[in-house]
């Protein structure tokens, strides 16, 4: 007679639950990221609008999952390190969940800027349509002046004037090249959309 250990029973039960879940219609829960980079001249006129999509990194997945369970008893997990700003770069490596594409490739010195004063925010899109987590950062005139800005990241180490590791990068995007002159401002509005049903 073969004895089944409690650990084997739990594993078998987990496999059975997974098989059952595969047969269900997906509930639509998930996150997608997208945004707009807006370049304005010294008079506030829009010079360039750049729509983009992003990839939430492995570190970003851990961040989101950790935020969902913060403080819930009885385990009461602590919060992960909060996202606190964005950084810019001039690299072109394809975005990836981890590794070289999971962080800024070529950091733009002094582009480490905190989120704008009233951000992040949530925007409820209505019944069954999902909810946006909205991040916004503005690089004022004279900050991060560069003719070839091509990448942006949401990070948890904004205070560090250096590139962020993949572990500190929650989301990264490649954008159409932005030429930010000394009198220009750049504002990036970035949404993480929790999908509706």
pLDDT on residue 4: 45
Question: Residue 145, CB half-sphere, CA atoms under 13 Å: how many?
Answer: 8
Q: How far apart are the first and last CA of the chain?
A: 48
pTM for the model stands at 0.87
Structure tokens at 94: 């394809």
Sign of CA dihedral 67, 69, 126, 22: positive
* Tokens 């360039």, located at residue: 48
pLDDT on residue 1: 40
pLDDT on residue 129: 82
Helix (H) or strand (E) holding 12: helix 6-22
Structure tokens at 95: 């975005």
Taking the domains of the chain in order of start, what are their residue ranges? 31-195
Q: Which residues of the chain have pLDDT under 70?
A: 1-11, 13-16, 18-29, 196-197
**Residue 64 CB partners (closer than 8 Å, separation 6+):** 31, 56, 192
Closest CA to 115 of 90, 95, 134: 134
pLDDT on residue 183: 98
pLDDT on residue 128: 81
pLDDT on residue 7: 60
């Amino acid at each position: 007679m073969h004895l089944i250990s409690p650990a084997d029973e739990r594993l078998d039960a987990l496999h059975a639950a997974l098989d059952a879940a595969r047969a269900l219609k997906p509930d639509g829960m998930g996150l997608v990221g997208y945004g707009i980079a807006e370049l304005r001249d010294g008079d506030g006129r829009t010079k360039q609008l750049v729509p983009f999509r992003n990839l939430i990194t492995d570190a970003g997945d851990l961040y989101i999952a950790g935020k969902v369970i913060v403080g819930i008893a009885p385990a009461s997990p602590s919060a992960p390190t909060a996202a606190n700003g964005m950084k810019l770069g001039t690299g072109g490596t394809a975005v990836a969940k981890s590794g070289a594409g999971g962080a800024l490739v070529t950091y733009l010195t002094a582009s480490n800027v905190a989120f704008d004063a009233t951000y992040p925010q949530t925007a409820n899109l209505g019944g069954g349509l999902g909810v946006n987590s909205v991040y916004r950062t503005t690089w004022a005139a004279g900050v991060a002046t560069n003719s070839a800005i091509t990448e942006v990241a949401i990070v948890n180490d904004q205070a560090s004037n250096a590139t962020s590791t993949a572990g500190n990068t929650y989301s990264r995007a490649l954008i159409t090249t932005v030429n930010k002159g000394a009198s220009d401002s750049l504002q990036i509005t970035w949404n993480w959309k929790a999908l509706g049903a």
